Structure 1
Amino acid sequence: MTIHHSEQTHRNLLARIPAATGRSLDTWFQLVNEGPSLPRFEERVSWLRAEHDLPRGYANAIVHEMDLKRAARAFG
């Protein structure tokens, strides 16, 4: 699944996640990494929503950011 909002909207969502959820982005990344091995974007988003009761926007932003960081490591 692709993200249908701007880079600025994505950054704004990321900035709000710690206050809205009580967990840092690094904590969310760790939770996803320690969770079930789900290869597809939407599967990881659905898992975050079901397991941690996250709104879709925050779950999408977390998984999207994880994918961006993973891609940057692969090419960097």
Structure 2
Amino acid sequence: MSLNHSPETQNKLIARVPSITGRDLPEWFEAIDNGPSFLRCDERANWLADEHGLSHGYAAAIVLEHERRRRF
């Protein structure tokens, strides 16, 4: 699974997260923060997809957005 989306694809996925998943981004970020302490983004995305039944595309987008916001 690739975690490299184009900026346009990333923005579109993130915009649709609440309607597709029924949860807002802060809820997903909390799930990541409270989940297993994986070091790699792909491990967190795989866990998020497996644990919460997300597609890998949405899981990867959520993880990438979480990482992006943590840096600031």
With the length of structure 2 as denominator, give the TM-score of the two structures.
Answer: 0.91
List runs of 5+ in structure 1 lacking aligned partners: none
List gaps (5 residues or longer) in structure 2.
none
Instruction: Name the CA distance, whole Å, in 1 between partners of 2:44 and 2:16.
Output: 20
**After the TM superposition, which parts of structure 1 deviate over 6 Å for at least 4 consecutive aligned residues?**
none
Partner SS for 2:36: coil
CA distance in 1, matches of 2:14, 2:69: 13
Instruction: Give the % identical residues.
Output: 45
Larger Rg: 1
State the structure with bigger RCO (CA 8 A, min sep 6), 1 or 2.
2
Corresponding residue pairs, total = 71
Aligned-residue Cα RMSD (Å) equals: 1.1
TM-score of the pair, normalised by structure 1: 0.87
Alpha-carbon distance between aligned partners in 2 of 1:70 and 1:39, rounded to the nearest angstrom: 14
Deviation at 1:52, TM superposition (A): 0.2
